[in-house]
Amino acid sequence: MGQRTWLVILYACAGCEATLDPGRNSNEPVSVEMEPEVEVDPPLPVDDEEMTPSPACVGAAAPLRRLTRQELELALSAALRVPVEAARALPPDETVGPFAANSSLPPSESWTRTIMELAERTARRVPRERLSCDQPDCFEGTLQNLVQPLWRRDLAPEDENVLRELWARGRELTGTSTGAWTLIVEAAIQSPDFLYRLESPSLTPNELANRLAFFLWAEGPDARLWAASEAGGLSTRAGLEEEIDRMLDDPRAARLSERFVTGWLDLSRLTEVPKHFSFLRFDAEARAAMKDETIRFFDAIARRSEGNLHTLMTAEWTLLDRALLPIYGLAVPDDFDPERPITLPEGQRYGILSHPSVMTVHSTSKESSPIARGSMILDNLLCIHIELPDIEIPELPEPTPGQSKRERLAAHNSEPACAACHQFIDPIGFSFEALDAIGQYQSEDAEGRPIDDQGALSVGSPSDGPATGVQALSERIMQTPDFTECFVRQWMRLGFGRPATQEDACVLERLTESFVDANHDMRTLITELAMSPSFSGLPEEPRP
């Protein structure tokens, strides 16, 4: 019986409904619902027999994906070389886990209307000299120039025919060649050829180039990637690896770090999370600087391999903007350089979990929230999702003067209905208590008592145990076997843009293995993911 299976029993016995992410044992989320009073172990819907990896590990089929707001904005501005502001006007993206994917729901009418307006605005920005062709001999060139980058594939003869007809109609309606070309651009933007990532059942090299570019850069392929795909460079593992390496070194790949860490730690909410006005240091600049710190720190480790997953969790350095120094309680050094790592104040912070961005998002508007922080660790880092119970959750008693947060949350222990879940959540959260609602370190609480940050990890893992402060907790999380696998699982969600199914069990297993073999190097993980048969369509490397 696998270790994760024990975990389910543990939660179930406690009367807490925990869901392990699918992808290893079953097609459906493993969900065990039990009344708190039930004491016997429930029969398990999971079965070791099914864990044998299927012989050909190709993963589930890739769904049709519609460009996300970010992809749409970047792909459009790269293809036409004009500024585009799309994100704000479009309805929100549909997500897979915490990552924008647009892979299962159809578009809404409001999305379609917004795209129409966006196409009209954007086409008007294309410089007129690029729309001036009115001779047959420049027609094909102009079409290549305008439409091919938008559609991100070679134009077939039948494409050219329908576009030629459209041009003629546009010329008739607008009376000018420029008008006809503007109309072509508008139509090309609104076509499914731009708005979706259309793929054939046997992935072509051009389509793989698109997958790589959208995964690593959140936009379409550049000329070099295109040339590589045309020349067959993506059809061998060596050629593919070389191209991935080149793309990861490109500054555009910083978007990959940003998308991952923003989704993984819920940082997109940082720009809107409300804070009480008494937090004078928490202004728009501080919000931006907080996010920037975490993204730059993550990117240094993920793409430049300045450490590995352990470093992410346990680093005693960070990369700070000037605006964040007051929140860290640091004076501005004379030779301040935002690019140079800063050593964290000793004993206060440790790794990415102690970043102000993470602590700020997982707090209430006024104070730190052990509940939000504990849930985040379970859900995002350990892939243990605790369902809200199907009962009305009673309010916590009003705070009484002089009461500590731990005393106020004591009801979570005394009430069996609460304790069922909160016995797992709250102890994790208490380890973060020295970091307040905007992630400032404090040694005393509002009442002047010393901070009580005695917490514990208790998830049914060998790494369980007491954890006072964020350092002890981060180390225990790092030692939890589920943590590494959950981290890989999150990357798969981002990379594949769909929830994992049973067919992905072998993919998860192999990626986790190679990640561990590579000493938890994230750049290796990203590369392996992009080279996996489910992503690249290339056959697997022969396994020893």
Partner 1 sequence: MNFSRRRFLGAAGTAALCGPFLRSRPSKAQALAPNLVLVTWPDGLEPGWQPEEHGLGSRLEALNPHRDQLLVIDGLIGGIDSELNAHSEGPPSMWTGSRPAEGLSQLPSIDHLLAERIGRDSPFPKLHFGVQSTRTGVLGNASPRYFFSAPGAPVPSEDDPQVMYERIFSAVLSTEDRSDVLRSFQRRETILSFVDDRLRNARLRVSAEDRPKLDAHLASIESIERSLARLRDLSCDSQLSRPEIGGRAAVDLDEGFETVADVQGDLLVTALSCGLTKIATLQLSQTDSALQLPGWPAALHSVMHDHPTADRIEVNLWFVAFLARLLEKLASVDLGGASLLDETIVVATSEMAIGNHGNDPIPYFVAGGGGRHFRLGRTLRLEGKPRNTRLLTSIMHAMGQTDVGSIGEFEDEASLGALEEVR
Interface positions with partner 1 (CB under 8 A): 61, 63-64, 66, 88-89, 91-92, 105-113, 116-117, 119, 162, 166, 169-170, 173-174, 183, 186-187, 190-193, 196, 198, 200-201, 269, 271-277, 282-287, 365
In the complex, what is the shortest distance from the CB of residue 6 to partner 1, in angstroms, rounded to a whole number?
Answer: 33
**177-190 vs 157-174: helix crossing angle, rounded to 10:** 130
Tokens of 310: 């352990």
- The Cα 273–Cα 289 span in angstroms is 15
Per the DSSP assignment, residues forming a β-bridge with 20 are: 30, 384
Give burial (CB, 10 Å; 0-12/13-18/19+) of 309.
buried
* Residue placing its CB nearer to partner 1 in the complex, 308 or 363: 363
Beta bridge partners of 343: 317
Instruction: Tell me whether residue 3 or residue 365 sits nearer to partner 1 (CB atom).
Output: 365
Range list of H helices, 41-176: 69-80, 109-125, 136-151, 157-174
Angle, CA of 422, 426 and 432, to the nearest 5°: 165
Name the minimum Å distance from CB 313 to partner 1. Answer: 26
Rounded CA-CA distance 4/7 in Å is: 5
Q: How far is the CB of 292 from partner 1 (least distance, A)?
A: 15
| Rama region for 200: left / alpha / beta (φ>0; ψ in -120 to 50; rest) | beta
Taking the complex as a whole, how short is the minimal distance between the CB of residue 389 and partner 1, in angstroms?
A: 17
Task: Please list the residues that pair with 466 across neighbouring strands.
Answer: 456
- The answer to whether residues 280 and 494 touch, using CB atoms and an 8 Å cutoff, is no
- Closer residue to partner 1 in complex, CB, 85/245: 85
**Residue with smaller CB distance to partner 1, 302 or 358:** 358
Smallest gap from residue 484 Cβ to partner 1 (A):
29
Q: State which residue, 276 or 304, has the beta carbon closest to partner 1.
A: 276
Whole-angstrom distance, CA of residue 336 vs CA of residue 334:
6
User: Smallest distance, Å, CB 395 to partner 1?
Assistant: 10
- Pick the closer one to partner 1 by CB: 168 or 231: 168
Nearer to partner 1 (CB atom), residue 166 or residue 451: 166
Find the shortest distance in angstroms from Cβ 38 to partner 1. Answer: 30
